[in-house]
Structure formats: C-alpha cells, structure tokens
Structure 1
Amino acid sequence: MSLVELIGQADERGLAASGLACLDRCVPLLGGDDEILRPLWAGLADDAGAAEWGERLEQVRGKLGGEGEFGAADGEPGPAGSGDLSGSGDFRGSGEDEAVLLARRMLAAAPVERSAAGVRAWADACSVAALQIHRLLDPLKDAGDSVDARREGRTEGMSPLVAAELRRQITVLELLAGHGPAGLRPALEVSTEGRRVLRAVVSRRSRRRG
C-alpha cells in the first residue's frame, strides 16, 4: 500500500502521530532538543489528551520560536493550502535554509484543535514537507521528478535519505493502523532513529561549511 493510501485510511490518532513523527524527525533543523515534542506524543495515548493538544502545542511553539510564524498559526496547513507547505515558491535561499523554512512551517501549520479533518490535512502536508527536507539535505541526488511520485509508490532511483524517510513514514502509519495506542511507542522509536540520522546529516553539513 502506498503512503498516500495509508494516509487516506488512517484514523485521527494515526494521522496525528504521522504528522508529529514527521515534525519530530525534523526537530534538529529547529534547534530543539530530543524531548521537546514528548508532551504531544504523550497526549496521543488516550482520548483525554486531545483536549490538551492545543495547549501543549502552543508551549512547544513558544520554546522553538515558532508561535505565529510563517502565516499558519490558525491551524491551516500552510500558505499554499492543504498538502503544501512550500509557500509561494519564490524562496531563493540555500537547500538547508529551505529545509529549515519547511520545518518551521510544519510546526506553524499544526492544528490547535486535534480534529480528524485538521490532522489529516496537516499529516499530508507534513509528509510532503519531510520528504522534501530529506531530499534537499541528501548529498546524493534523488532521481524522481517529485516527492509526490514517491508517496504514490514510484520508488525507482530514490536517494538513500529520501528512501529512509519514506520507509519511516509508512512504518509509523502501519504501526498505528495495526496496533492503535500500543503502536505509539514503536512509532516514537522509529521517529527517534530518523531524528538521529537527520541530526548527523545537519552536523556533517555544518562541519563542511566550517
């Protein structure tokens, strides 16, 4: 089953976990520590956590400096609409600068109300943004025309970093679909692994610039 199909079939918890996992893996670009999103993960474990999602989200935004930035504080999935956090398309910074901007838009676009409709749009947008971030930072070129092709199952010529991110996104959704709340811990472990990989990539790029 393709990533697009998995997102289409996921329930509210699975969608929230999918979007959160994408954001979690990109925390190194936001200057956050490894525990910064733990309160949001904890809130996914039971239905009562949905009521506290918005408050915890605002706390995270405050700590990461993302509160109200990039025009998505109202919970819409970004300035370009559902499934697209790329904005107007006129960005002219480096690949890493663009990656940071996409990560900040993922955080800014997170819906304050954890409704199924809101988290579905956010999860879809985060999926695209996270794959694009890994594509921008991968030292090897991804041969595909777009990340949309990867999400639809066309995986020929994928670069290693993009392939690993696609695999993690699929795994998180499969864990939540197959195990419900019990899938959250292994999903977090998958995301933690991805965060470490991206942190190492960012560190290597920083050393090369130095």
Structure 2
Amino acid sequence: MSLLELIDRADERSLAAAGLACLDRCLPLLAPEGGEVLRPVWAAVARGDGGAWGEAMAKARVELGDAGDEAAAGLVREMLDAAPAEWAEAPLREWASECSVTALALHGRYDAAEVTDESIARCRAGDGAGAGPLLAGELRRQETVLESVAHGPTGLRRARELSTEGGRVLRAVVSRRARTA
C-alpha cells in the first residue's frame, strides 16, 4: 500500500502520530537537543486526548522558539506551527500529509541522489525507484509508522522508536556534511 493510501485510511490518532513522527525526525534541524520537547505531545497522542494535544503543541512551539535563518530549520518550524490545535480528522489529515511531504523534501535535501518534487510525489504514490538512501529510509519510516499505529497503542512505541532512529540518522548526515563542507 502506498504512503498516500495509508494516510487516506488513517484515523485521527494515526494521523496525529504520523505528522508528529515526521516533525520529531526532522527536529534536529531546528533544535539539535530538543527531542524531549515533544514528549508531552506523544503522551497526548497515546491517550487520544485532543485537549492535551493542543496544549502540548502550544507549549512545544514556545519552548522551541524561533527557527533562525537556516532554510531547513524554517521548514521544520513551519511543520510545528501548522499542527492543528483541533483534534479532528480533516485538519490532522492535512497536517500529516504536509508533514510527510516536508520530511521527505528535507531528507532529500541531504540525500546522495538528486531529489525533485516529482520524485517525492512518486515515492508517496508507491514508486520509490531511484530514491537515494536517505529519502528511501524516510519513506520506509513514514509507512511503518502508519502501519504500526494502526495496530493500537503498542504501535505508538514503535513510532517513537522510528522517530528517534530517524532523527539520529538525519543529525549524523547533517553533521557529516558540515564537517566536509
């Protein structure tokens, strides 16, 4: 099943987890040491608590501050700012979809292969041929998060593990690029 189909079939909790996981994996571009800031948001997703979701997201926005001048950090900040305060299927679906595209684009920016908007669209539609290793890994993580969360609360633990792993991978790639530049 393609990533687009998984997003289309997801319920509110799965959509919130999918968007949050994308944000979490890309967070090192905004705040290299900011991983714990999203812990209360993950807890709200685990409980399916829309009120706590909105409050936790608002608090995370304040704690993470401004993005600065770096373009990648600005995109991550946009993902954070676009998170809906309302725990409802339509806004969560839109946000999860936007986060998916942004996370793929950010990973593609640091990938060994040239990534275009067209290649990202093909990946989301189920054709990952030609995707570089970083983009392919992000695509797999997004699909696995949606599949895992669909299996209930234990899937959220897997989603968090994938997000932590993906954040480490992205942080390492960015760090390596900075050293060789």
Bin of the TM-score, shorter chain as denominator length? over 0.9
Question: Mind listing any 5+ residue stretches in structure 2 that lack a counterpart?
Answer: none
Distance 1:7 1:165 in 2: 15
Gaps of 5+ in 1: 70-92
Cα offset for 1:191? 0.9
| Residue 57 of structure 1: how far off its partner (Å) | 0.7
Aligned-pair Cα RMSD in Å: 1.8
Q: TM-score, normalised by structure 1?
A: 0.80
Deviation at residue 144 of structure 1 after TM alignment: 7.7
Describe the shift of the 1:143–1:40 C-alpha distance in structure 2 as closer, same or farther (beyond 3 A): closer
Q: 2:51 is matched with which residue?
A: 51
Q: SS at the partner of 1:44?
A: helix
Residues 143 and 157, structure 1, Cα contact 8 Å, conserved in 2: no
Secondary structure, counterpart of 1:37 in structure 2: helix
Q: How many residues align?
A: 179
- Percent identity between the two aligned chains: 54
Preserved contact between residue 144 and residue 158 of structure 1 (Cα < 8 Å): no
TM-score after normalising by structure 2: 0.92
Distance 1:105 1:155 in 2: 26
Which residue is equivalent to 1:42? 43
1:17-59 residue CA offsets vs partner (Å, 9 max, x unmatched): 0000000001101114221211100111123x22111111111
Work out the CA distance in 2 between the residues paired with 1:116 and 1:103: 22
Amino acid at match of 2:122: A
Task: For 1:37, give the aligned amino acid.
Answer: L
1:141 CA displacement: 2.4
Aligned AA for 1:192?
T
Partner of 1:4: 4
Q: Which residue of 2 aligns with 1:62?
A: 62
Describe the shift of the 1:163–1:12 C-alpha distance in structure 2 as closer, same or farther (beyond 3 A). Answer: same
Is the 1:111–1:122 Cα contact (8 Å) retained in structure 2?
A: yes
Q: Give the corresponding residue for 2:99.
A: 126
Task: Give 1:61 shift.
Answer: 0.4
CA distance in 2, matches of 1:120, 1:142: 24
